[in-house]
Amino acid sequence: MKIIKRNGSEVTFDVQKIVAAISKANAVVEQDHQLTREQIDRIARKVEDACATCGHTVSVEEVQDMVEDHIMASCAYEVARHYITYRYMQNLKRTRNTTDDQILTLIECNNEEVKQENSNKNPTVNSVQRDYMAGEVSKDLTRRMLLPADVVKAHDEGLIHFHDADYFAQHMHNCCLVNLEDMLQNGTVISGTLIERPHSFSTACNIATQIIAQVASSQYGGQSISLTHLAPFVDVSRQKIRRDVITEMQELGVDPDFPKIAEIVERRLREEIRRGVQTIQYQVVTLMTTNGQAPFVTVFMYLNEARSEREKLDLSMIIEETLRQRFEGVKNEAGVWITPAFPKLIYVLEEDNVREGTPYFYLTQLAAKCTAKRMVPDYISEKKMLEYKINANGDGDCYTCMGCRSFLTPDRSGNGFNNVANLKNYDGKPKYYGRFNQGVVTINLPDVALSSGGNMEKFWKIFDERLDLCYKALMCRHKRLEGTLSDAAPILWQFGALARLKKGEKIDKLLHGGYSTISLGYAGLYECVKYMTGKSHTDPEATDFALSVMQHMNDRCAEWKAEQDVDFSLYGTPLESTTYKFAKALQRRFGIIEGITNKGYITNSYHVHVTEEIDAFTKLAFESQFQRLSPGGAISYVEVPDMQDNLEAVISVLQFIYDNIMYAELNTKSDYCQVCGYDGEIQIVEDDGKLVWECPNCGNRDQNTLNVARRTCGYIGTQFWNQGRTEEIKDRVMHL
C-alpha cells in the first residue's frame, strides 16, 4: 500500500510511523492520561485498515486526520491535544520551503499528484517540468500576494476551486474561438513576420497550424477553429490547379478536353485537401507549446456555416477527409495506429445530414464509423442549439464551444458588438469567432449539502455564502485581466485571433458588454441532491430540487451580470484532478458517508452517477434539461461497448441526440499494449491499495508501453489519470 507525502511523492505505507507519532504525543502527558501500548497498536491498525479500504492512495494529511479521530474516540484528549499541537508546529516549519520541495520533486519525477494532474501532459519531459516549475512559483505568488485570504482558504479546504492558479499571476485568459477567417482572409503577423492571404488550401492549413500554436502559447485554455474558414481556399486551389493543367496541356500540344480537365483538376484537388488536412492532424499532435503539451484545439465541422452551395460542397470534402484521417489514427513510436487526443472534433447534426436520403448523410455515417473506433467526433445538434442560443435579434445561433465545453453567451448586441475588436471582416451580424472566456471558479455542491446537515433552510443560506465567495474569486480573475495591454499577446489582441487593437491599447472593452464570458463552475450535483433528498436526481421526487439548484446558480449569474456588465455564465466544470481533490476534501471534513463521500471522486457537473444503471436514450433525455440550465458549458455522454460492427445503433443514438440534446458524445475504448500487441481494452486492477492499468493479455503494467485513450471529461486523455479519476473510469457502467 502506498501513501502520498506532502510534497507529492509516493512512498510505501509504514504503520510503524503511526505508532511512533502517537507514542511521541503519548510520552509527554501524565501517566494517568496515557494510552496503553495495546490501544496505540489498535489505533494504528484501524487507520491502516481504513487506508486499505479507502479506494484511493491516501495522503499524509488524511492519515493524520484519521489518527486524530481515533485518539479522540479513545477519550485520550490530552494525547490528542499534543498530537494536534505537534502537527501545527511541523506545519509552520514546512511553510518556509513547501514551494522548494514541490519543485525538487517535480524535477526528480517523484511528485505523484502532479504526474497525474493533467492526462495530456508527460511530466518526465523537460518542457512540461519547466511549465510545472513556473506554475509552482506562480501559485505561491498568487496565494501570498494576489488572492484574498478567504478565497485561498476556501480553495485549500475544497469548498471552491480556483482554476489554473498557476497562470493567474500573468495577465492570461482561459479559452477562445479563434477568428481564423479574419486572419486568413486579411493577413496576420506571427513572431514579427507578416503572413499574407494564402494562395492555396495547403498553405492555408499550414498557416492555421502556426496560428494554433501561437494562440495556445498565449492563453491557458482550449481553442476552437472552424473548417468553414478553410473552405474558401479549396476553390482558390481549384482555380490554380485548373490554370496549371491547361498550361501543361498546351505545352504538350494537346487540345484542352474540358471534361478531362475537370477530372484531373478534381483528382489533384482531392490530393491537396488530403495533404492540407494531414498537416493539421500531424502538426497539432507533434507541436509542443510553451505549457508542455500539444495544443488543446477543437476542429468544428458545420455544413450550414458555409456561405454558398459551392463552398458547402468544398467544406464537405474537407470534413470527409478529416474524418477519414482521424479514423485511421496516428502511428505511435512502434508504428502502430493509435487514437490521438487532439485535435478534438465536433460534428454538427443538421437536417441535411442526419437521416437516410439527405444529401450529406454519408458524412454522418463516416462520423459514426470514426466515433466507434476513435471516440470522436462529438456531436452538436443544430436543431437544439438554435432553440437554446437566442441572440438579441431573436434568432437562434449555432456555434462551437471553446475547446472542451465552454460556450459563449449569445450575441446580446445582435450586431457583432459594433466591431469593438476592430476586426476587418465585420459584417454587422451576431459574432462568435474572436470571443473568449476570462476564467473559471467552481463551487463544490456536495460540500454545501453536507455543511447544512440536511437542513433545507440552512442549505440555501450556505449555498448563497459560497456563491458570494465564488463571485469574489471570479471578480479577482476579471480585475486581473483589466488593464492588460494588447502587447501582452500580439497574436490575440493585435493580429486578429481575437482582436486587432492598437499597440499599447488596453483590452478592457473586450471584458465588458458580453464580448467575453466568465464562468461559475459547479460539480457534484448528484451527491448534493442525494444527501439532501436521499435519492438520485434521476428520481422524479428529487429532480425538481436538482433543477432548483441549477436555476439558483443561473439567477445569481444574472445578478452579477447586471451589476458588472460582464457575462457570468453557469458552466459544468470538466473535473480532472479536481474530482479527486474535492472527494478527498469531503472525506477529510465529513468522513466516509455511503453513497456520498465513499468514492475517490465526485460526479462531473449534472451528470447521472457513473455507477447508475440507465440506458443511453433515457440518460440523454434526462440530462438535456440540465444542459439547458448550464449555458456556459456542458456536455453529456453515453458509455458504449465496441460498436464498430453495429454502426446502425450508433446512427440511432446520433439521431436521438439531434432531436433531444444540444451537445453529446459516445465513449468507447481505444487501447494498445506495445509488449504483446493486444488491441482490446486495457483493464484497471487494484494492487496494494492502488489502482493500476494492466494488459489482460500479458499482464504488462508499464505505462510507458501502454497506449490508453479514455474520455476524461469532454476530451480524450492519453497520459493516464490520478487515482480519483481512475476509480471513476473503473466504475463506469455501459448505457448501450
Residues 645, 654: contact at Cβ < 8 Å? no
- Is 291 a residue of the active site? no
Rounded-to-integer distance, Cα 66 and Cα 654, Å: 48
HEC string of 713-735 equals CCCEECCCCCHHHHHHHHHCCCC
Which of 112, 320, 576, 727 does the annotation list as catalytic? 576
* Of 328, 345, 229, 236, residue with least CA distance to 284: 345
- Where helices occur in 231-257 by DSSP H, the ranges are 232-251
Which of 7, 179, 437, 569 does the annotation list as catalytic? 437
Q: How far apart are the first and last CA of the chain?
A: 36
Long-range contacts of 386-389 (CB under 8 A, 24+ apart): 388/628, 388/631, 388/662
Rounded-to-integer distance, Cα 575 and Cα 522, Å: 9
Which of 26, 74, 119, 174 does the annotation list as catalytic? 174
Rounded-to-integer distance, Cα 284 and Cα 279, Å: 8
Identity at 597, one-letter amino acid code:
T
Instruction: State the Rg of the chain over Cα.
Output: 27
Q: Strand runs (DSSP E) across 528-577, as ranges?
A: 567-572
Q: Give the bridge partners for 301, in sequence order.
A: 347
* Of 397, 415, 395, residue with least CA distance to 407: 397
C-alpha distances out from residue 678 to 137, 279, 328, Å: 42, 29, 18
Cβ of 308: how many Cβ atoms within 10 Å?
A: 11
Rounded-to-integer distance, Cα 65 and Cα 109, Å: 27
- Write b or e for each residue in 155-180: b if 16 or more Cβ atoms lie within 10 A of its Cβ, otherwise e: beebbbbbbbbbbbbeebbbbbbbbb
- Is 30 a residue of the active site? no
- Where helices occur in 190-308 by DSSP H, the ranges are 201-216, 232-251, 258-286
DSSP state of 441: E
Tell me the backbone φ, ψ of residue 128, rounded to 5 degrees. Answer: -70, -45
- Is 175 a residue of the active site? yes
Which of 51, 172, 404, 470 does the annotation list as catalytic? 404
Identity at 240, one-letter amino acid code:
K
Which of 132, 347, 571, 658 does the annotation list as catalytic? 571
3-state DSSP call for residue 544? Answer: helix
- Is 521 a residue of the active site? no
- Is 402 a residue of the active site? yes
Q: Give the bridge partners for 683, in sequence order.
A: 694
HEC string of 88-128 equals HHHHHHHCCCHHHHHHHHHHCCCEHHHHCCCCCCCCCCHHH
Residue bearing cell 484532478: 577
Q: Is 93 exposed, middle or buried (0-12, 13-18, 19+ CB in 10 A)?
A: exposed
All three cell numbers of 159: 469548498
- Is 576 a residue of the active site? yes
Mention every residue, 6+ apart, whose C-beta is less than 8 A from residue 385. Answer: 396, 397, 398, 399, 662, 663
Long-range contacts of 93-99 (CB under 8 A, 24+ apart): 94/6, 98/6, 98/7, 98/140, 99/136, 99/137, 99/140
Which of 439, 714, 717, 724 does the annotation list as catalytic? 714
- Is 248 a residue of the active site? no
Which of 54, 172, 175, 528 does the annotation list as catalytic? 175
Rounded-to-integer distance, Cα 577 and Cα 713, Å: 11
Tell me the backbone φ, ψ of residue 537, rounded to 5 degrees. Answer: -70, -10
| DSSP run (H or E) holding 347 | strand 344-349
- Is 714 a residue of the active site? yes
Residues 79, 32: contact at Cβ < 8 Å? no
HEC string of 488-521 equals HCHHHHCCCCCCCCCCCCECHHHCCCCCCEEEEE
3-state DSSP call for residue 9? Answer: strand
- Is 452 a residue of the active site? no
Please identify every residue annotated as catalytic. 174-175, 402, 404, 406, 437, 571, 576, 714
